[in-house]
Amino acid sequence: MAFLFILPTWPVDVWTAAMAKVAPDLDVRVWPDRMGNVADIEYCAAWLPPPGVVKSLPNLKVIMSLGAGVDAILKDPTLPGNIPIVRVNDPDLTGRMSEYIVLHVLYHHRQQRRIEDNQKHKIWNSFPTHAAKDLKVGIMGLGVMGTDSALKLRDIGFAVAGWSQSRKSVPGVESFAGSAEFDAFLARTDVLVSLLPAPPDTDGIINRSTIRKLSRKGPLGAPVIINAGRGRQQVEADIIAALDAGELLAATLDVFATEPLPPDSPLWTHPRVTVTPHCAADSDPETICAYVVGNIRRHQRGESLDNLVDRARGY
Ligand code: NDP
Ligand code: OXD
């Protein structure tokens, strides 16, 4: 049995070293030039795998995403339909995401951009601030990441709600479910966070009409968006237009339709946009290798795989 890494954009040596530490006996192969006899490969782990690579593995038993999202795996038109796909659900990755979401909600809540602008001009201006309970944060996607972020924001004191396909019961977090409750969710939300995966029905969900439905009654005067889900969820031209029209106060964006974000994107230089390079939650090689090996061992023992992806739902 051999295991294959498919990592066109990540430092392969870091990942093979981590895997050697976690599972010294595992026969690790690397796409594209250390594949050996492909017939040996029964498990693979991938981040942004090029189309066709998975199909070229005749004895593959499980495909593992090295992140929480699986959109890059599912978009391969040649992907065999019968091989289970598992994704990462690990406290290390989840904790990193919550740090990012808490950081950026606090950044807007405490008007940090205004303080930094004032410092540039040597302006000592301690403007009025508001309490966390007065700011309504709405999280699209109340799954593993969304729930952890919601709980941490709730504990700081924010008024938190989540929107998901199915109704949730998270103490202290209001739950909205399905398209029928989307507008009500938006209407109560001052800071809209996306932690959605990328099934087709979420494409372009952060558009001008969505932005216009957000609350304008909050203490910041206009809504804020934070997207750490997937770039295809946002209509970038609509975000810029809404910012320029005063319909949106600010945006923090970690994910983009095209990554890396092209140098000519106006998002880079917009004074009220924070761009981060898809780093909200990084997959830590040793932690994630241990998680991958755990799943391989379970599968070898005939046990069910953890965190199987539902292909029909797309996440
Ligand atoms: P989960 O699968 O645990 O949660 C997904 C949530 O989204 C679920 O609550 C689901 O609802 C909800 N959802 C899916 N489709 C819809 C829809 N059409 N309408 C309403 N709700 C919907 O995923 P995770 O929390 O683990 O991860 C979420 C995403 O975060 C990843 O898929 C990835 O895109 C992104 N991510 C980004 C990272 C970064 O660094 N920027 C790092 C890690 C993840 P229900 O529960 O009812 O099914
Ligand atoms: C992930 C990601 O899905 O990094 O884990 O985006």
pLDDT tens, N- to C-terminus, the chain (315 residues):
999 999 999 999 999 999 999 999 999 999 999 999 999 999 999 999 999 999 999 999 999 999 999 999 999 999 999 999 999 999 999 999 999 999 999 999 999 999 999 999 999 998 999 999 999 999 999 999 999 999 999 999 999 999 999 999 999 999 999 999 999 999 999 999 999 999 999 999 999 999 999 999 999 999 999 999 999 999 999 999 999 999 999 999 999 999 999 999 999 999 999 999 999 999 999 999 999 999 999 999 999 999 999 999 999
CA distance 251 to 234: 11
For the record, the structure tokens of 260 come out as 């890396």
Q: Which two structure tokens, joined as six digits, stand for 75?
A: 């978009």
The residues that are catalytic are: 230, 278
Q: What is the pTM of this model?
A: 0.98
Residues 6 or more apart whose Cβ sits within 8 Å of residue 157: 131, 132, 133
CA of 68 to the centre of ligand 2 (A): 5
Q: Which atom of ligand 1 is nearest to the CA of 87?
A: 26
Rounded Cα distance, 296 and 275, in Å: 36
Which residue in the block uniquely carries the two structure tokens 């709980």? 151
- Beta-bridge mates of residue 191: 137, 224
| CB of 69 closer than 6 angstroms to any ligand 2 atom | yes
Is residue 197 in contact with ligand 2, taking CB distance under 6 Å? no
Q: Distance between CA 48 and CA 31 in Å, rounded?
A: 12
Q: Which residues contact 175 (CB under 8 A, 6 or more apart)?
A: 142, 161, 162, 164, 167, 168, 169
> Counting atoms of ligand 1 from 1, which one is nearest the CA of 69?
32
Q: Residue 289 and residue 18: Cα distance in Å, rounded?
A: 7
Ligand 2 geometric centre to CA of 146 (Å): 13
Pocket flag, ligand 2, residue 67 (CB < 6 Å): yes
Q: Is 141 close to ligand 2, i.e. is its CB under 6 Å away? A: no
pLDDT of residue 115: 97
Residue 79 confidence (pLDDT) = 98
